[in-house]
Amino acid sequence: TLRDQAMLLQIAQLASVATDNFQLLRQTQEAVQMRSEFLAMVSHDLKNPLVSVKGMAQLLRRQLERGDCLDVQRLIEGLDKIDSVATRMSAQINELLDTARLQMGEPLELDVRPFDLVSLARQLVEQHARTTSKHNVELRTDLGELVGEWDQLRIERVLSNLLSNAIKYSPEGGDVVVTVRTEEADGRSWAVVDVTDQGLGIPARELPRIFDRFYRASNVEGRIGGTGVGLASVRMIVEQHGGRISVTSQEGQGSTFSVWLPLPGAA
Ligand code: ADP
């Protein structure tokens, strides 16, 4: 009858609302779980260097008290070590503050000054090459220099993130190539940095979600550690510079991330 039909319809609607709620609950649970993993990793990352700074300070103090640290050279080396660990921690904390700011939808205060993107890329390539023996990390560019006006520390973080991902998600090794070039598009000039690897790649249907906060692709989740926040921050930083980031990838073949940054001049 008509009443039965109406009732059935109501039941179907209720069931669909229940399913939606259930999915929402599961998503929320997943997000909470990921956040606590993220916090655990962050505190671990900050605690270790702090323990070593404390240890070094106490050691220097004991040596001074005993009077067996008359060797000024050794004293300076110890203090330099403390200084460099503290500098690294301060950069990590700034990165966390940025992440929190971006998460709340607040813009970053960019510290924009001219710098040479080619030498920054070269420096980061050399730095990351030293961290791996499995990969051949290299810079390819025809440009002697490429000076633009961006926030150097933030762009350094962007490129560092892309480089360490390229290495991390190529567990078998392979080439990691960074190119720096210029492009003309949308009536203006762009500085473009590509980071290409021959690693695991990203499943095609997951590509659109790769820049979402906490998102990790199914081919790495549970196998390679990570938090899924790096690329979300990378995209925000690039976009706040008026730039954009894109990715092409083939699962099992490798990926290329391209960062486009506006060059000074007529827009
Ligand atoms: P994390 O590396 O901590 O998981 P990211 O935000 O940097 O977080 O990256 C998000 C996800 O994007 C990664 O979990 C991984 O699935 C995928 N990804 C990023 N870079 C690469 C890459 N070079 N090759 C393959 N997958 C990548």
- The full DSSP string for 11-22 is HHHHHHHHHHHH
239 CA to centre of own chain: 14
pLDDT at 68: 67
CA 226/CA 215 separation, integer angstroms:
10
Four-residue CA torsion sign, 178, 179, 182, 184 = negative
Per the CB < 8 A criterion, the answer to whether 207 and 251 are in contact is: no
Per the CB < 8 A criterion, the answer to whether 146 and 178 are in contact is: no
Contacts 24+ apart (CB under 8 A), 154-157: 154/98, 154/108, 154/110, 154/111, 154/237, 154/241, 155/117, 155/120, 155/237, 155/241, 155/261, 156/120, 156/124, 157/95, 157/233, 157/234, 157/237
200 lines ligand 1 (CB under 6 A): yes
ipTM score of complex: 0.99
Angle at 251 between CA 248 and CA 170, to 5 degrees: 90
Q: In testing the pocket of ligand 1, which one of 220, 235, 238, 257 has its CB within 8 Å of the most ligand atoms? A: 220
193 lines ligand 1 (CB under 6 A): no
pLDDT at 208: 93
DSSP strand pairing (174-185 vs 244-250): unpaired
Q: With b meaning 16 or more CB within 10 Å and e meaning fewer, what string describes 229-247? A: bbbbbbbbbbeebebebeb
Q: Read off the tokens for 37.
A: 């993993």
216 lines ligand 1 (CB under 6 A): yes
Q: In testing the pocket of ligand 1, which one of 45, 162, 165 has its CB within 8 Å of the most ligand atoms? A: 165
pLDDT at 117: 98
Average pLDDT per block of 10 residues along the chain, 267 residues long:
81 84 79 72 80 90 77 86 89 82 84 97 96 96 97 95 97 97 96 98 96 91 87 92 97 97 80
228 lines ligand 1 (CB under 6 A): yes
pLDDT at 39: 74
pLDDT at 69: 55
Per the CB < 8 A criterion, the answer to whether 240 and 252 are in contact is: no
CA 202/CA 210 separation, integer angstroms:
9
3-class DSSP assignment, residue 49: helix
